[in-house]
Amino acid sequence: MKLLITGGAGFIGSAVVRYIIGNTDAEVVNLDKLTYAGNLESLAEVSGSERYAFEQVDICNRAEVDRVLVQHQPDAIMHLAAESHVDRSIDGPAAFIETNIVGTYTLLEATRHYWQALEGERKTNFRFHHISTDEVYGDLEGTDDLFTETTPYAPSSPYSASKASSDHLVRAWQRTYGLPVLITNCSNNYGPYHFPEKLIPLVILNALEGKPLPIYGKGDQIRDWLYVADHARALYTVVTKGKPGETYNIGGHNEKQNIEVVHTLCDTLQELRPQAMPYRELITTVKDRPGHDKRYAIDASKIEKELGWVPQETFETGIRKTVQWCLDNLDWCQRVQDGSYQRERLGSGE
């Protein structure tokens, strides 16, 4: 089986590539534009594999996407390429519209023409797997409600609105053209190789440098946290076992307030890298961002019952692994923070 993975140099995408190369016999073609969030250093452990190939291509470039499809002849596409940071979407929504909506449309059209030309079992077995987010559902009012696969969409930010739009496009391409699609909506991911603009790596690295640990408002926003390696395993399960036309929610069963997450990170750091002044004393509050959703929580019972996937990491074990990975890979973190991973890439002509 050959899988074309868009956004395979990003945080979740690179975890999927590493999982597939390390745990299956499948081949992977990684198609990535290499924006600021794309880092080939995250794929160093698999880059030498004969089953791995990289194509630096923008999904908005139809001619190049067509070329990659014809050249590599994938059996399935896993579409992870997306702009994904809510704060960036508030400051500059245009890039989110371009990549998440126009890019998904371009990829769908290229895929449709490629798929229609396939024959026999190759056409029957082909899959287009679109990876989305639980943020398309908006937020939950009560403390017991959960997002299900039929929860109405109510996105709050330019980011989540652009992802909701892409979800609708994918479903329309199946309904109108018969393209065999799968959609997954996941909760907040964390783990190794996470870009440090996100909450968990930002807190870890700021704490190690003695910098303030910023918390929006009271820090009472609730998220369901999913260890990225568990997510990667779930995505491979869906693309190989999922039923075309179905949506699967993927969650970690770990609802935590943001302030709880930061406290856990501080306490874990205090254990693994102790210092005289407790890390908790670095916590500071900042003005809440516009339209900030209060609570997300995933009902992942469908993927568990139908496909047999369950997360292997608890929040505590996943956080400990994440903190330890950061401590063991401070060079990687530093290169991302100071931008040298990009400068060297540009200097090499990539």
What pLDDT shows up at residue 345?
53
Strand pairing class (2-6; 27-32) = parallel
What pLDDT shows up at residue 70?
98
pLDDT in tens, 265-293: 999 999 999 999 999 999 999 988 887 88
In 3D space, the residue among 316, 306, 36 whose CA is nearest the CA of residue 195 turns out to be 36
In 3D space, the residue among 78, 170, 173, 68 whose CA is nearest the CA of residue 126 turns out to be 78
How many CA atoms lie less than 13 Å away from 150 in the CB half-sphere? Answer: 2
> Which segments of the chain have a pLDDT < 70?
343-350
What are the DSSP calls for 106-131, one per residue? HHHHHHHHHHHT--HHHHHH-EEEEE
Counts of helices then strands in the chain (DSSP H, E): 14, 12
Give the position of tokens 């050249």: 71
Which CATH number fits the domain that encloses residue 148? 3.40.50.720
> d(Cα 114, Cα 14) in Å, to the nearest integer?
25
Q: Give the residue numbers spanning the domain of 321.
A: 2-347
Strand pairing class (283-286; 247-250) = unpaired
3-state secondary structure of 317: helix
Strand pairing class (247-250; 213-216) = unpaired
What pLDDT shows up at residue 341?
78
Report the DSSP beta bridge partners of residue 56: 32
> d(Cα 3, Cα 27) in Å, to the nearest integer?
6
311 near 227, Cβ under 8 Å?
yes
pLDDT in tens, 137-158: 999 877 778 999 999 999 999 9
What pLDDT shows up at residue 348?
46
Residues 6+ apart with CB under 8 A from 188: 223, 224, 225, 226, 296
The reported pTM is: 0.94
What pLDDT shows up at residue 224?
93
How many other C-beta atoms can be found within 10 angstroms of the C-beta atom of residue 106?
Answer: 18
What pLDDT shows up at residue 197?
77
**Count of domains observed in the chain:** 1
140 near 297, Cβ under 8 Å?
yes
What pLDDT shows up at residue 141?
79
Angle in degrees, 0-180, between the axes of helices 199-208 and 315-328, rounded to the nearest 10: 50
**Positions marked catalytic:** 134-135, 159
Give the position of tokens 């959960």: 146
